[in-house]
Amino acid sequence: MKKNRAFLSTSMLLCIVFVLGTTNLHAQQVPIKDTLQFKNGNFDEFLEWKDTRGELINAHDGGVIFVNGKYYWYGLALRALGQDKGENNGAATTIGINLYSSSNLLEWNYEGVILSTSQNVISPLRAPMRLERPKIICNIKIKKFVMWFHYVGYPGTHGQQIGLAEAGVAVSDNIKGPFEYLGHYRPINDSGAVKDCTLFMDNDTTAYFVFDRKMPEGSRCLHIVKLTDDFLHATDKWAKIDVANRWEAPAIIKQGDIYFLITSDVSGWKANAAKTFKSTNIMGPYIEVGNPCIGEQNQNTYNTQCTYAFNVIGKKNLSIIMLERHNTTNFFKCSYVWLPIEVNNSKELLFPYRKEWSLSSLY
């Protein structure tokens, strides 16, 4: 194993005890300002969502985690540049992963960079690079926040070779960081490259890494791998989600005893029709449910691609899907589209488009 592929674990032994909460654990009700509106606009609009400083929120393809009565939104900091052939302009970061906090899901305070890239030419985090689709879960056993992402090293151009398409792992005592970078590697074995990915923590606090595994001859399929108890490594318990052959941008949400896996087709930054799969067992087998979008632009996921799904604390049965409307002429201006998730009596998961909506409008 290459040196930079080994996990550095000394500081992990220094476990600072803290009180934490996530959507699954220690749920506390927070005051939700029901009158504020989520604004998604027309299908071709890139609406600006600004933080409390008045600056555009720069946290792409990330997620939301609930900790100690507050929501935290994290994601990749992109640049005000378009897309070149290698896609490593605005879509590659020179900053790293940004964090914002909020008590109402609409007004976000900038908390800073929680995982920084580096100017050092020998650093695995040398910028520009990509830490695509970062996801964070909390491990109560080791009292740490653990982040996994699709690692694409300098200069951020996708490739198949070892070191370019891998699972990156970072860890922190505090959601506000700084996260310590542990390394990058390929779960299952080195022949399958890691592309789009997500993390899911179940009610029993077991956790899973779901990723689009691309084989050398070009075939690709979503796979799920159970994480070790500390969430820092993949175990050898994994499954190929056969029905999700050539589906990416995975997000998992559990409703009752059903795991819904929401995905997109494979078409780069160009929007396509989303597809949902479901199972009563996290490891599968999954069955295809269909397109979760309905009405106008449902073949285009409303001109977005799936990012993450989470439960709203204090609003029974309300889950939100985070989608992203990619802007390939200026990645800094990709816009965020958040929609409430509905599960109907036939156990189908849907998220109809809403140009704008408030939490109170759902009740």
| Site residues for ligand GAL per CB under 6 A | 87, 91, 132-133, 158, 196, 248-249, 266, 268-269, 305
DSSP string, 302-330: TT-EEEEEEEPTTSTT-EEEEEEE--TT-
Nearest approach, Cβ of residue 228 and ligand GAL (Å): 26
Cα separation, 202 vs 204, in Å, equals 5
Residue 142 backbone phi and psi in degrees, to 5: -100, 0
Of the pair 111, 248, the CB lying nearest ligand GAL is at 248
Of the pair 85, 316, the CB lying nearest ligand GAL is at 85
Collapsing DSSP to helix, strand or coil, 22 comes out as coil
Nearest approach, Cβ of residue 20 and ligand GAL (Å): 29
Contact (CB, 8 A) for 146 and 169: yes
Nearest approach, Cβ of residue 299 and ligand GAL (Å): 17
**How much is the CA Rg of the chain, to the nearest whole Å?**
19
Cα separation, 182 vs 76, in Å, equals 18
Of the pair 87, 111, the CB lying nearest ligand GAL is at 87
Nearest approach, Cβ of residue 212 and ligand GAL (Å): 8
Of the pair 21, 292, the CB lying nearest ligand GAL is at 292
Of the pair 12, 266, the CB lying nearest ligand GAL is at 266
Nearest approach, Cβ of residue 154 and ligand GAL (Å): 15
Nearest approach, Cβ of residue 244 and ligand GAL (Å): 14
Tell me how far the alpha carbon of residue 17 is from its chain's centroid.
Answer: 26
Instruction: List, in order, residues 6 or more apart from 210 with CB less than 8 Å away.
Output: 197, 198, 199, 200, 222, 223, 224, 225, 241, 250, 252, 261
Of the pair 112, 159, the CB lying nearest ligand GAL is at 159
Tell me how far the alpha carbon of residue 335 is from its chain's centroid.
Answer: 15
Instruction: List, in order, residues 6 or more apart from 66 with CB less than 8 Å away.
Output: 21, 22, 23, 27, 72, 310, 313
Of the pair 87, 180, the CB lying nearest ligand GAL is at 87
Nearest approach, Cβ of residue 167 and ligand GAL (Å): 14
